[in-house]
């Protein structure tokens, strides 16, 4: 039987007084066997931020290229130029994919790889303008900071210069990937060819200055220590203090199939649930903690709502072909009907709320002909 952990009482007092938690507090939360109190604290923190609401988005997810030269050891998705199963979509193909979704959706989520033939402003700026002309109500959630860093270096532009051009072409939000774990030790071993932590943070802070929102993630379940997870969360909290503009934090559970870190295996249900709760409690200046159904599986996502999560991400629209998690072994499908989101959220005792990338909210049966809603969170 679990007994109440007295060490959580001091943490609860800090939370009630609005004091940010320390790394040591985070370790106590990760190590407690009192999972019920952990859940209660995280749920209370969630309800202080987003009351009784839980969010989802009608969206379309596209991986526009899987060609990537970063060679991160956790990745099962990347392919080389000569691989028969490489995918590199032309701009027309990406537009066709987006349009086959119909018009009733609010977000295009696109990520790719470090692909020298696709990651260029010549490809992206005209494509973004086409999206904005044809689907003006659809927010563009494009790239990760790693892709922006790659593009900036390629064009020999400063972050300020490249972000100004992307913002002008209609970029609404940048996805949270590429963060992995900020620790230098981790990056040296796992993703040495990718943007480092300081530059990842600088890109996000530059985006915020240009009015572009962003998300943040952490890949957990490989070689990182609990201290490194907490340092990562604290670095994000400090970045949000310097430069408000992060909407959501998304814990990314490691998927082991077909990559060089397979021996770490799958994360456990308890580790997943703890990650949601600890993220919610450490990141006191992030409004949203997302339990992404495709990554965690929809059942863990529903449980995560009891542990501080307040978002389940999106439908993905039609029969799509997300590749990052499907090549690494996820058993989730490609599509969830929004009625299913609403059923699961209501069963958990919350009110389902449809949103876009920047958390403007919509009635469930909203259609583009209705015009954009007034209320933003
Ligand atoms: O940076 C790659 C992760 C990220 C694996 O902003 C893996 O809403 C687990 O940006 N196991 C890219 N994770 C995806 C991304 C993202 C994902 C979900 C939500 C949002 C958002 C953004 O995918 C990479 C890396 O951390 N990843 N391979 C793997 N085997």
What whole-number percentage of the chain has pLDDT above 70? 98
Which atom belonging to ligand 1 lies closest to the Cα atom of 313? 8
Task: Please enumerate, by residue number, every residue annotated as part of a binding site.
Answer: 68, 72, 74-75, 180
- HSE of 281, CA atoms in CB hemisphere, 13 A: 34
pLDDT of residue 196: 98
* Residue pLDDT, tens place only, 163-183: 999 999 999 999 999 999 999
Q: What is the mean pLDDT of residues 133-152?
A: 97
Pocket residues: Cβ below 6 A from ligand 1? 74-76, 111, 144, 175-178, 180, 215, 217, 219, 250, 252, 254-255, 259, 292, 324, 328
- Written as one string, the DSSP assignment of 235-298 is HHHHHHHHS--EEEEEEEE---TTSTTGGG-PPPHHHHHHHHHHHHHH-TT-SEEB--HHHH-H
Average pLDDT over residues 91-104: 93
Looking at the predicted structure, is the pLDDT value of residue 337 above 80?
yes
Q: Is the pLDDT of residue 291 over 70?
A: yes
The reported pLDDT for the residue numbered 29 is: 98
375 has a pLDDT exceeding 70: no
What spacing in Å lies between the alpha carbon of 180 and ligand 1's midpoint?
A: 8
pLDDT of residue 294 exceeding 90, the answer is no
| pLDDT of the residue at 289 | 98
For the cut 90, the answer to whether the pLDDT of residue 327 exceeds it is: no
Q: pLDDT tens, 57-88?
A: 999 999 999 999 999 999 999 999 999 999 99
Take residue 93 and report the two structure tokens written for it: 């193909």
pLDDT class of 1 with cuts at 50, 70, 90: low
Q: Render pLDDT for 188-203 as a digit per residue (tens, 0 to 9).
A: 999 999 999 999 999 9
Nearest CA to ligand 1 atom 28: 75
pLDDT surpassing 80 at residue 319: no
Whether 2 has a pLDDT exceeding 70, the answer reads no
Q: Which atom of ligand 1 is nearest to the CA of 328?
A: 30
Give percent of the chain with pLDDT exceeding 90: 89
Q: How far apart are the C-alpha atoms of 282 and 131, rounded to whole Å? A: 37
Going by alpha carbons, the residue nearest to atom 17 of ligand 1 is 177
* pLDDT (mean) for 310-320: 77
252 alpha carbon – ligand 1 mean position (Å): 6
Quote the ligand 1 centre to 13 CA distance (angstroms): 34
Average pLDDT, the chain: 95
C-alpha 11 to ligand 1 mean position (Å)? 31
Rounded Cα distance between 99 and 96, Å, is 5
State the binding site for [4Fe-4S] cluster.
68, 72, 75
- Give me ligand 1 centre to Cα 250, in Å: 9
Q: How confident is the model at residue 150 (pLDDT cuts 50, 70, 90)?
A: very high
CA distance 352 to 330: 25
336 touches 293 (CB < 8 A):
yes
| Å from CA of 148 to ligand 1 middle | 15
Nearest to 219 by CA among 182, 181, 255, 172: 181
Question: Distance from the CA of 254 to the center of ligand 1, in angstroms?
Answer: 9
Question: What burial class does residue 95 get, using C-beta atoms within 10 Å of its C-beta: 0-12 exposed, 13-18 middle, 19+ buried?
Answer: middle
- Ligand 1 atom at minimum distance from 141 CA: 6
Q: What is the per-residue pLDDT for 14?
A: 97
Higher-confidence residue of 243 and 335: namely 243
Residue with CA nearest ligand 1 atom 8: 175
Q: Is the dihedral of CA 68, 70, 75, 81 positive or negative?
A: positive
Structure tokens at 267: 């994360």
Task: Detail the residues annotated as belonging to a binding site for S-adenosyl-L-methionine.
Answer: 74, 180
Given ligand 1 and candidates 213, 219, 253, 276, which is best to mutate, with the most ligand atoms within 8 Å of its CB? Answer: 219
pLDDT confidence band for 377 (50 / 70 / 90): very low
Give mean pLDDT, residues 139-165.
98
pLDDT tens sequence across 5-37: 999 999 999 999 999 999 999 999 999 999 999
Alpha-carbon distance values, 310 to 9, 77, 202, 254, 313 (Å): 24, 28, 27, 21, 10
Q: Over the Cα atoms of the chain, what is R_g? A: 20
Least confident among 13-27, 127-141, 225-239, 310-324: 310-324
Q: With cut-offs at 50, 70 and 90, classify the pLDDT of residue 97.
A: very high
Query: What ligand 1 atom has the least distance to the C-alpha of 255?
Result: 11
């Amino acid at each position: 039987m679990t007994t109440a952990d007295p060490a959580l009482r001091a943490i609860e007092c800090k939370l009630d007084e609005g004091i940010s938690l320390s790394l040591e507090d985070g370790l106590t939360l990760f190590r407690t066997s009192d999972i019920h109190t952990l859940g209660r604290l995280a749920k209370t923190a969630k309800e202080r931020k987003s009351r009784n609401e839980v969010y989802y988005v009608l969206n379309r997810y596209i991986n526009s290229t899987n060609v990537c030269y970063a060679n991160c050891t956790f990745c099962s998705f990347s392919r080389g130029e000569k691989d028969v199963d490489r995918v590199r979509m032309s701009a027309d193909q990406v537009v066709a994919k987006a349009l086959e979704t119909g018009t009733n959706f609010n977000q295009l989520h696109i990520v790719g790889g470090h692909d020298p033939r696709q990651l260029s402003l010549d490809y992206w700026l005209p494509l973004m303008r086409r999206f904005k002309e044809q689907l003006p109500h659809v927010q563009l959630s494009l790239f990760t900071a790693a892709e922006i860093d790659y593009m900036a270096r390629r064009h020999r532009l400063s972050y300020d210069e490249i972000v100004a051009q992307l913002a002008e072409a209609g970029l609404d939000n940048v996805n949270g990937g590429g963060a992995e774990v900020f620790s230098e030790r981790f990056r040296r071993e796992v993703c040495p060819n990718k943007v480092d932590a300081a530059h990842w943070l600088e890109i996000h802070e530059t985006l915020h200055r240009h009015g572009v929102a962003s998300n943040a993630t952490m890949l957990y379940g490989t070689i990182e220590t609990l201290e490194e997870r907490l340092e990562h969360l604290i670095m994000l909290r400090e970045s949000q203090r310097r430069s408000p503009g992060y909407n959501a934090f998304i814990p990314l559970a490691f998927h082991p199939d077909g990559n060089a870190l397979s021996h770490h295996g799958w994360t456990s249900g308890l580790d997943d649930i703890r990650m949601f709760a600890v993220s919610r409690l450490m990141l006191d200046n992030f409004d949203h903690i997302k339990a992404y159904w495709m990554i965690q599986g929809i059942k863990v996502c529903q449980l995560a709502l009891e542990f501080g999560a307040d978002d389940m991400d999106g439908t993905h629209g039609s029969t799509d072909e997300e590749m990052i998690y499907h090549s690494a072994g996820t058993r989730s499908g490609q599509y969830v009907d929004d009625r299913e989101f609403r059923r699961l959220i209501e069963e958990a005792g919350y009110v389902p709320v449809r949103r876009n990338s920047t958390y403007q909210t919509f009635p469930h049966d909203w259609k583009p002909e209705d015009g954009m809603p007034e209320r933003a969170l």
